[in-house]
Amino acid sequence: MGNSQSNNKINPVTNRLAQPVGLMRQKYVLGIIDPQYDFMRGGSLEVSDANDIIGPINKLRFILYDYLDVFFSQDFHPVDHVSFASTHNEPVLTVKKINQIMGNSKQIHFEQTLWPAHCVQGSRGCSFHKDLVILKGDQVFQKGTMSNIESYSAFGDEFANAYENTGLNAWCKVKKITDIVLVGLATDYCVCNTAKDAIRLGYRVHLILSCVRGVAPDTTKTALDTMSKQGVKIYGDVEDFINANQQELEQTN
Ligand SMILES: [Zn+2]
């Protein structure tokens, strides 16, 4: 009798060892890219329907409060920023070839789309929209803070962050982040460049369509295609993201 009982009993030790061990636990961070007044309705560089992302982003934060660290990126330009048409006295949307010597004596070349002045340091347009939930523990990374270099990516400039490094990568490393969930503005510029940098730096990247908006339909389509090809996981809305990642999210806590 004793024998048959012990034969039928599941050995908890063996059972536990049968589970996969040594897998790296996933840890997610929510990256809210540039949700600033100048990109919202009535702003100097208004993105169509940008205000519509605020509700879904707040909802995502509310549902996943216990499971997500959060960072914001903030476009934070001096008045003479290289991306402003006014800096060069040229029309908005001109694509200008720029050659310049950087502090390390290295000469760099890049093509800069010229925008209306936006997100000037200290201006209202530079502030985060008041309807967006911002909590004490949220981290803010400012970018485009120097006159002579553009940083669309929340990690820094397009030269692998050699001239402006916002510190986002180091912060993610300390927090042992494996997955970055991107939302915000704009899909075809700052969101896309943040995604590309994140992939280059070894993170898994998720993007939720209901929580992003693009400047123009053609560039937005190209950006989504590029991100998808690079391995970014794209979801329709907050529910799609949560359903697809529920198990991994639960294991993070
Ligand atoms: Zn900018």
What would the pLDDT profile of 48-59 be if each residue is shown by its tens digit? 999 999 999 999
Active-site residue flag, 143 = yes
Q: How many helices (H) and strands (E) does the chain have?
A: 8, 8
Region of residue 197 (left: phi > 0; alpha: psi -120 to 50; beta: else): alpha
Higher pLDDT residue, 8 or 167? Answer: 167
Catalytic residue among 119, 143, 188, 211: 143
Structure-block tokens of residue 218: 């053609």
- Report the C-alpha gap between 57 and 53 in whole angstroms: 6
Assess whether pLDDT exceeds 90 at residue 16.
no
Count, residues in the chain: 253
Give the three-state DSSP class for 52. Answer: helix
Mean pLDDT of 54-75: 96
Domains of the chain: 28-77+122-249 (3.40.50.850)
Catalytic residue among 34, 75, 179, 188: 34
Cα(86) to ligand 1 centroid in Å equals 13
Cα distances from 62 to residues 59, 66, 201, in angstroms, run 5, 9, 28
Rg of the chain taking only CA atoms, in angstroms: 22
Mean pLDDT of 70-94: 98
- Report the C-alpha gap between 235 and 253 in whole angstroms: 23
Q: What is the mean pLDDT of the chain?
A: 92
> How confident is the model over 139-194, as pLDDT tens digits?
999 999 999 999 999 999 999 999 999 999 999 999 999 999 999 999 999 999 99
Active-site residue flag, 69 = no
Rounded to a whole number, what is the distance in angstroms from the first to the last CA of the chain?
43
The band of 253, judged by pLDDT with boundaries at 50, 70 and 90, is: low
Catalytic residue among 119, 126, 172, 190: 190
Cα(249) to ligand 1 centroid in Å equals 33
Cα(36) to ligand 1 centroid in Å equals 11
Cα(150) to ligand 1 centroid in Å equals 7
Cα(121) to ligand 1 centroid in Å equals 11
Residue with tokens 């890049």: 110
> How confident is the model over 125-135, as pLDDT tens digits?
999 999 999 99
Mean pLDDT of 80-102: 96
Cα(83) to ligand 1 centroid in Å equals 7
Cα(30) to ligand 1 centroid in Å equals 21
In this structure, the number of other CB atoms found within 10 A of the CB of residue 28 comes to: 20
Assess whether pLDDT exceeds 80 at residue 46.
yes
Cα(75) to ligand 1 centroid in Å equals 5
Assess whether pLDDT exceeds 90 at residue 19.
no
Nearest in space to 242 (alpha carbons), one of 208, 211, 212, 213: 208
